[in-house]
C-alpha cells in the first residue's frame, strides 16, 4: 500500500533530509488508502539507516509492531471509538523513561472518533511531551471534521487520495485473485488485504452469483421468477449493498467504454439491453438513487423491488 502513496513517502523523506520533520502529523482520507501503513513507514524513517528502506531488521521490527519506542492505539474491537482512557494510558506510558535510545513515536488510529475531551487531553502532550526524548505523534482520521481544530492546527496535514479503481484491481489481482473477483472487490473497499479476504467469503460469492444471474434476465416473467427464487438474499442488506455498488460500477463502465472494467460480464448482459446513451443514463440515475438509499436503514427488499418494477 505504501507504493500507491509513494508521493507522500517521498515528501517525508525529503523533509527528513532537510531536518524538517514535524513533531505531529495528521493523515486523513478514506478507509484502506494506506494511512496506517504510512504511519509505520514514517516511524521506520526515523530509525532506519537506509532512508526508510522498509526491509532491514530495524524496519521489520517496527512494521511488525515490536519496537519498544513505537506505540499504537486504535479502536478496540468491542467499541466504536477511541476512548479517553486509551489516551490517558498512552500519556502515562510516555511519562516513563524508555530503555531504548532514539525518538519515541505514538500512533493514534481513529482520532476523529474520540470525544472532544479525549482529544483536548492530548493538546499539552503534543506540544510538551513528558520526557526529554524526541517525540513524534501521528494521528489517523477518515474525516477532518471529527478532529478538534486545535489538534489540526498543530499537525502537519497529509491527505491520502483514494486509489484509482483500475490500480486497485491490479493490486488485488496480484494476490492470485480472479480478475472478475478483483473488479467486484475493488468496488467494495480501498483496502487490498480486506478485498482479498472478501472474495473468499460466502456472502461475497452468493452476491456475485446473484449479480451475474440478474444481468442475464431478459423479460418481466424471468424477473418475477428470479425475485421469488432469491427472496432470502434480497432481504440481506449487506449482500444488496454489494449488488448495488456493482451495478453502479457496471453502468459507469457502459457509459464510459474506455474503462471496460466489467468486460468479462458483457456477454451475459441482457437486462441492460439499450445502446441508447440517454436510456442508459436514465437507468443509471435510477441505480444511483437506489444505491444511495441502501446507505440508510431501509428495507433492501423494497429497494430491489423498486429496481425491478422500473427496469421491466
Joined together, the cell numbers standing for residue 66 give 515490536
What pLDDT, on the 0 to 100 scale, is given for residue 129? 64
Helices (H), 157-201: 165-173, 179-186, 192-198
Distance CA 18, CA 258 (A): 43
pLDDT tens, N- to C-terminus, the chain (312 residues): 556 688 899 999 999 999 999 999 999 998 888 899 999 999 999 999 888 899 999 999 999 999 999 999 998 777 788 988 898 898 888 888 777 888 899 999 999 999 888 898 888 788 776 666 788 999 999 988 899 998 998 999 999 888 788 888 999 999 999 999 999 999 999 888 899 999 999 999 999 999 999 999 988 899 999 999 999 999 999 999 999 999 999 988 888 776 678 888 888 887 665 667 788 888 888 999 999 888 777 899 999 999 998 888
Per domain, the residue ranges of the chain are 3-159, 201-311
Domain 3-159: CATH superfamily is P-loop containing nucleotide triphosphate hydrolases (3.40.50.300)
For residue 186, give every residue at least 6 positions away whose Cβ sits within 8 Å of its Cβ, in sequence order, or none: 165, 168, 169, 172, 195, 261
pLDDT of 272: 63
Whether the CB-CB separation of 28 and 141 falls below 8 Å is answered with: yes
Q: Are 4 and 163 in contact (CB under 8 A)?
A: yes
pLDDT for 275? 67
Q: Which residues contact 36 (CB under 8 A, 6 or more apart)?
A: 107, 109, 140
Q: What is the pLDDT at residue 96?
A: 83
Contact 90, 108 (CB under 8 A): yes
What is the C-alpha separation between 184 and 276, in angstroms, rounded?
25
Annotate 18-43 with DSSP letters as a single string: TT---SEEEEE-STTSSHHHHHHHHH
- Asked if 34 and 2 count as a contact pair (C-beta separation under 8 A), the reply is yes
Closest-CA residue to 60 (of 72, 73, 47): 47
- Structure confidence at residue 246 (pLDDT): 95
Angle at 266 between CA 4 and CA 260, to 5 degrees: 30
Phi, psi (degrees; rounded to nearest 5) at 23: -90, -5
Q: How far apart are CA 250 and CA 86, in angstroms?
A: 43
Quote the strand ranges of 40-91, DSSP E: 70-73
Say if residue 18 is exposed, middle or buried (CB neighbours under 10 Å; 0-12, 13-18, 19+): exposed
Over its C-alpha atoms, the chain yields an Rg (Å, rounded) of 24
Residue 84 is predicted with a pLDDT of 87
Query: Coil, strand, or helix at residue 182?
Result: helix
Q: Hey, CA dihedral for 102, 104, 109, 111, is it positive or negative? A: negative
Amino acid at each position: 500500500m505504501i507504493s500507491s502513496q509513494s508521493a507522500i513517502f517521498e515528501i517525508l523523506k525529503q523533509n527528513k533530509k532537510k531536518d524538517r520533520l514535524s513533531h505531529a502529523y495528521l493523515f486523513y482520507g478514506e478507509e484502506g488508502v494506506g494511512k496506517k501503513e504510512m504511519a509505520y513507514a514514517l516511524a521506520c524513517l526515523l530509525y532506519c539507516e537506509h532512508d526508510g528502506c522498509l526491509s532491514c531488521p530495524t524496519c521489520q521490527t517496527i512494521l511488525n509492531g515490536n519496537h519498544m519506542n513505537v506505540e499504537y492505539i486504535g479502536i478496540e474491537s468491542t467499541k466504536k471509538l477511541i476512548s479517553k482512557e486509551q489516551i490517558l494510558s498512552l500519556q502515562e506510558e510516555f511519562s516513563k523513561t524508555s530503555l531504548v535510545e532514539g525518538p519515541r513515536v505514538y500512533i493514534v488510529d481513529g482520532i476523529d472518533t474520540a470525544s472532544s475531551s479525549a482529544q483536548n487531553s492530548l493538546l499539552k502532550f503534543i506540544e510538551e511531551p513528558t520526557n526529554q526524548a524526541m517525540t513524534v505523534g501521528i494521528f489517523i482520521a477518515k474525516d477532518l471534521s471529527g478532529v478538534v481544530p486545535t489538534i489540526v492546527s498543530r499537525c502537519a496535514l497529509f491527505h491520502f487520495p483514494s486509489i484509482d479503481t483500475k490500480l486497485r484491481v491490479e493490486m488485488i489481482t496480484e494476490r492470485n485473485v480472479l480478475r472478475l473477483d478483483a473488479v467486484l472487490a475493488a468496488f467494495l473497499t480501498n483496502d487490498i488485504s480486506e478485498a482479498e479476504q472478501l472474495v473468499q467469503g460466502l456472502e461475497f460469492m452468493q452476491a456475485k452469483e446473484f449479480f451475474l444471474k440478474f444481468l442475464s434476465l431478459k423479460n418481466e416473467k424471468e424477473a418475477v421468477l428470479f425475485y421469488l427464487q432469491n427472496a432470502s438474499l434480497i432481504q440481506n442488506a449487506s449482500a444488496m449493498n454489494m449488488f448495488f455498488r456493482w451495478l453502479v460500477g457496471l453502468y459507469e463502465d457502459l457509459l464510459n467504454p474506455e474503462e471496460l472494467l466489467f468486460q468479462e460480464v458483457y456477454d451475459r448482459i441482457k437486462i441492460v439491453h439499450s445502446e441508447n446513451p440517454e436510456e442508459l443514463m436514465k437507468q443509471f440515475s435510477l441505480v444511483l438513487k437506489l444505491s444511495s438509499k441502501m446507505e440508510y436503514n431501509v428495507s433492501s427488499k423494497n429497494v430491489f423491488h423498486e429496481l425491478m418494477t422500473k427496469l421491466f
